């Protein structure tokens, strides 16, 4: 199950202890999604510019991607830039658009070594050309990798995603490729940006906020939520493990009942 998890650390021992009482099928979530929040507040607390917080948050992405890979997570989706984030000051937006290049330039050798595959959801065509080129290059270079999927939500908004899916389905109906009776939940899933991915098992949001902020509204219908006051730059491997441990204690019923509850 574990490739290398910090060399018999307290985190590993705690996780392994918890696993003794768990079914093997419930040990590790397949897909974890994270709303990375609190970079600006982290910087403000230190009298630093907001971009310093984003730079520090980039380091956290690297740490958590490594940790996710080490414990056997299959998909890690990170909410990197929302469709609403364009409203921020231009200097901050420009810096955020430069982060993929900085991150991928420094992390790409390890990405390849770890067999990680980079993917993207969001309206890619609206990104600056340099940002788009870097992401395209990373996706192309890693397309045959079979390990962790590191999925960035970049210029992503869930409502816009759902609207686009509805329009695409209506076009298919208009053109006779679908009928009204063909439209069900599975059909809608097929037209979302995440159509090739399983829905998240666990959503983590940092910084103390307890809302979804237009993130994967359809896909999170039965996802377990875990909120923490920790700001994203301070979020570390131990925090990540705590979220997984808490997830493992949840009773995921999907609207039904499990065996012992039916008696």
Catalytic annotation, residues: 37, 85
- 17 appears as a binding residue in the annotation: no
**In the chain, beta strands by DSSP E:** 31-35, 75-82, 117-121, 149-156, 202-205, 224-227
- 224 has binding-site annotation: yes
CA distances from 122 to 95, 104, 162, 182 (A): 18, 18, 12, 26
- The helix/strand/coil state of 204 is strand
38 is in an annotated binding site: yes
Known binding residue 212? Answer is: yes
What span, in angstroms and rounded, lies between the C-alpha atoms of 42 and 21? 37
Q: Is 9 annotated as a binding residue?
A: no
Which residues lie across from 118 on neighbouring strands? 150
Q: Is 213 annotated as a binding residue?
A: yes
Residue 205, annotated as binding a ligand:
yes
237 known ligand binder: no
Query: What is residue 67's DSSP assignment?
Result: H
Which residues carry a binding-site annotation for substrate?
A: 38-42, 50, 54, 82-84, 86, 88, 205, 211-213
Which residues carry a binding-site annotation for Mg(2+)?
A: 37, 224
Which residues carry a binding-site annotation?
A: 37-42, 50, 54, 82-84, 86, 88, 205, 211-213, 224
């Amino acid at each position: 199950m574990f490739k290398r998890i910090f060399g018999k650390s307290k985190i590993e021992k705690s996780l392994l202890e918890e696993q003794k009482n768990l079914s093997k099928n419930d040990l590790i979530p397949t897909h974890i999604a994270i709303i990375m929040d609190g970079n600006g507040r982290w910087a403000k607390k230190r009298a630093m510019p907001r971009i310093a917080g984003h730079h520090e948050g980039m380091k956290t992405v690297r740490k958590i991607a490594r940790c996710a890979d080490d414990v056997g997570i299959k998909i890690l989706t990170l909410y990197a830039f929302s469709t609403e984030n364009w409203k921020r000051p231009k200097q901050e937006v420009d810096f955020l658009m430069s982060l993929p290049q900085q991150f991928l330039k420094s992390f790409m050798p390890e990405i390849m070594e770890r067999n990680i595959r980079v993917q993207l959801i969001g309206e890619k065509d609206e990104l600056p050309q340099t940002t788009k080129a870097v992401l395209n290059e990373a996706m192309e270079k890693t397309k045959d990798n079979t390990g962790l999927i590191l999925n960035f939500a970049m210029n992503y908004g869930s409502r816009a995603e759902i609207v686009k899916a509805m329009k695409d389905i209506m076009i298919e109906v208009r053109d006779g490729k679908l009928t009204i009776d063909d439209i069900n939940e599975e059909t809608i899933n097929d037209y979302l940006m995440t159509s090739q991915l399983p829905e998240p098992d666990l959503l983590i949001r940092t910084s103390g906020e307890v809302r979804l902020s237009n993130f994967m509204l359809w896909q999170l219908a039965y996802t377990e939520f875990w909120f923490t006051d920790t700001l994203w730059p301070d979020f570390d491997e131990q925090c990540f493990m705590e979220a997984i441990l808490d997830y493992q204690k949840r009773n995921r019923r999907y609207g039904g009942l499990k065996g012992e509850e039916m008696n």
